[in-house]
Structure 1
Amino acid sequence: MKLLEGKTAIVTGASRGIGKAVAMEFARQGANIAFTDLRYDEIAQETEKEIAALGVKAKMYASNAADFAATSATVDEIVKEFGRIDILVNNAGITKDTLLMRMSEEQWDAVINVNLKSVFNFTKAVSAVMLRQKLGSIISMSSVVGVSGNAGQANYAASKAGIIGFTKSVAKELGSRNIRANAVAPGFIITDMTAQLSEDVRKEWAAKIPLKRGGTPEDIAKVCVFLASDLSSYVTGQTIHVCGGMNM
């Protein structure tokens, strides 16, 4: 029996990177997948095909997670198509890094809206469905930067710290209806974004990590499977650090 057999999951920002890895691992564990991204482009189409090839139902929805009305409409469409929502993974996120003295209001607002407001938008819309079901698991992607901070990432750190506080509050509000809410805090993960860093910078990061390597999107996805499944049925309001020991 697969861990997520017959369940339906929404994964935001899942055309590539960590979101795609989560969607793929959920599908391998039997979950039907509704995933979102800004555009239904060639990359999103290919991801949709890859997920469906694992023998589950898969559909991509072009939607701006930072837009409340668009999110509500998307969730309504997903419920009509899939019938239920058992798991939500709030993964959509961006960076606009620069020192605070150089940071524009636009750079601050963009990161807060995409990274934090999107979590409010999807959680609010999906929780209404889960409340009727009296069942659900909500997983939101934070970061070790949201715990420890990082120079040049005040906007990103604030958004990711906000996710942790939001998650704890939602866990307390929805726990009595058998809805769990947890956060995942990745460390240095090898993605398209970090791959743009120089080899020297990547080596410097790895040297600071007790496990002496960067993580992979699959490392994050496996923790998300645990939080989405009944294996974690008594886990809520927690932030799990997946960082190779970088942040202890």
Structure 2
Amino acid sequence: MENRNFRLGTEWNIIHYPEKPTGFGILIIGDERHFVDESKSFWLQNESKLSIIKMLKESGYTIFSSNLYGKNWGSEKAVELAQSLYQHMIRSEIINGKIHIIAEGMGALVAVKLLEKLTGQLRSIVFLNPILSLKQHLQQEKENKFFYKKLTRELEFAYQKDLDQLEKELVSIEKICPFDYGIPIKMIYVLSDTRSFSQSNLYQKLVKNEINTSYILLEKKQQLGAMIVNFFKNYEQVL
């Protein structure tokens, strides 16, 4: 069995099984295009993402991911579901209790909240073109009225709050640096997404633990799988 799709509550989830498992697990938290349904997922349908999945499986990783309510933009219910998925995997699959995370784009907003909720249970994190600040992302999108209007609708639906209330809350929430948990972090920026690239130095001066940052050209994105595996392998000596 290569993949298995299953439900937690209302949301579909997927597990990718390696042929020769090493016992290490990876949680993938996708961007705003990400989805998982009863038979497929975005990372299986997208050619570049599928190549990453294949390399991770060849390296023995058990990979799991969730639909996380679609365009969740880091909402608390998405974070809680991601935490529940982790707990489900530890109970039902033979994997080490300390996992790796890959978080892309919008998915970084969920990942930074998981840093606190899963303290001691995370091995390392790779961010792909992450959106690290929802407040800053909103400011950037204001330049394009169509995308800004679409984003505000998605945010109000995800958080079940009007935009004014959410913006006030973001001021206090984002004063706290999310990366001071001593977890190895790598950020990879594919140089085609100026929105997330502009956030690349957002927390650098606040972070106590060093962040490993790489920049690659769009035509070199086939190297992503190897870059991720090489980073993860550095943090698997201690079980």
State the TM-score, normalized to the length of structure 2.
Answer: 0.47
Q: Which has the higher helix share?
A: 1
Q: Which has the higher strand share?
A: 2
